[in-house]
């Protein structure tokens, strides 16, 4: 039986909301309305989280934000996850080699993915603003396709039945063409997208496999569509594949059967 403790579930939703860049400083009313709960219940949860330093409250602006205890908590979680630590180290290597912003993406559930790490390139490399904790639909852009491509085709059809949301004029909307893109990702081992989630932002992505031969993470590079050249994409694919192979090996991956 999938039972939830309502107050704990609401606390988790509050923390997730405040982790998003758009809502990083929010009032009680904004939080309650966004989560669809009454303000009295929401206030009780916020005050409990504040006492435990999971959220902070500014009495002048009357806004809540993530609290200081989450900093060591997150660092401890990263320390305990060797694969994650290795992946973050590889992000910096990729950013340096490609002169692009590198990101680490994790799948939350079948239909959502989330940024869990980023690294900016040194020098004059292209820097794209990334909000760790930001979520996206699994079908969106190159990094989403790297997850979905290795699912079975029944999952593809289910996601497609729910509809492909249009974010920009370049967003994928043709279902059969999209299935063709997923098959291509399987064949070539990487994905490329141009302005599908945000206008003017291109992405190159490569999957990271775990011990169960499942895509556990995705490494991706972000750059400006207006400046990217084919040679840049080729360089990014090479760097990402090399780093993804290392992280996959650390995860216990031994190659697809």
CATH of the domain at 47: 1.10.10.10
Residues 242 and 211 in one domain: yes
pLDDT > 50? residue 232: yes
Residue at 168 is within a domain? yes
In this predicted structure, what is the pLDDT of residue 1? 44
The two three-digit tokens of residue 103, written as one number: 């990101």
Residue at 113 is within a domain? yes
In this predicted structure, what is the pLDDT of residue 12? 93
Beta strands in the chain (DSSP E): 55-58, 63-66, 101-109, 112-119, 135-137, 191-194, 201-209, 215-224
State how far the Cα of 236 lies from the Cα of 142, in Å rounded to an integer: 13
Give the tens place of pLDDT for each residue, 37-57: 999 999 999 999 999 999 999
Residues 127 and 24 in one domain: no
Q: Give the residue-averaged pLDDT of 207-230.
A: 92
Residue at 1 is within a domain? no
pLDDT band at 193 (very low <50, low <70, confident <90, very high): very high
Residues 241 and 171 in one domain: yes
CATH number of the domain where residue 104 is located: 3.30.450.40
Please state, rounded to an integer, the average pLDDT across all residues of the chain: 89
Beta bridge partners of 88: none
Q: How many domains does the chain contain in total?
A: 2
Residues 180 and 241 in one domain: yes
pLDDT band at 85 (very low <50, low <70, confident <90, very high): confident
Owning domain of residue 44: 6-70
pLDDT band at 256 (very low <50, low <70, confident <90, very high): low
Give the tens place of pLDDT for each residue, 124-150: 888 998 888 888 888 888 998 999 999
Q: Is 257 exposed, middle or buried (0-12, 13-18, 19+ CB in 10 A)?
A: exposed
pLDDT > 70? residue 257: no
Residues 113 and 49 in one domain: no
């Amino acid at each position: 039986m999938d039972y939830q403790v309502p107050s704990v579930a609401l606390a988790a939703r509050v923390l997730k909301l405040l982790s998003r860049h758009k809502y990083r400083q929010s009032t009680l009313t904004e939080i309650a309305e966004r989560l669809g709960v009454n303000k009295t219940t929401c206030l009780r949860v916020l005050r409990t989280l504040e006492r435990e330093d999971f959220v902070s409250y500014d009495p002048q602006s009357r806004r809540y934000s993530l609290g200081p205890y989450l900093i060591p908590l997150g660092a401890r979680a990263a320390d305990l996850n060797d694969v994650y630590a290795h992946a973050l180290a590889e992000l910096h290597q990729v950013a340096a080699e490609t002169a692009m912003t590198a990101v680490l993406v994790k799948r939350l559930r079948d239909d959502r993915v989330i940024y869990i790490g980023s690294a900016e390139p040194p020098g004059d490399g292209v820097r794209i603003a990334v909000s760790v904790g930001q979520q996206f639909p699994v079908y969106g852009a190159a990094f989403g396709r790297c997850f979905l491509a290795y699912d079975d085709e029944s999952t593809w059809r289910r996601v497609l039945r729910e509809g492909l949301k249009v974010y920009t004029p370049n967003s994928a909307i043709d279902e059969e063409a999209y299935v063709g893109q997923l098959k291509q990702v399987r064949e070539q081992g990487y994905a490329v997208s141009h302005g599908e989630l945000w206008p003017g932002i291109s992405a190159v992505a490569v999957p990271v496999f775990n011990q169960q031969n499942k895509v556990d993470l995705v490494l991706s590079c972000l750059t400006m569509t207006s400046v990217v050249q084919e040679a840049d994409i080729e360089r990014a694919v090479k760097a990402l594949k090399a780093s993804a192979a290392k992280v996959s090996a650390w995860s216990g991956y031994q190659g697809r059967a």
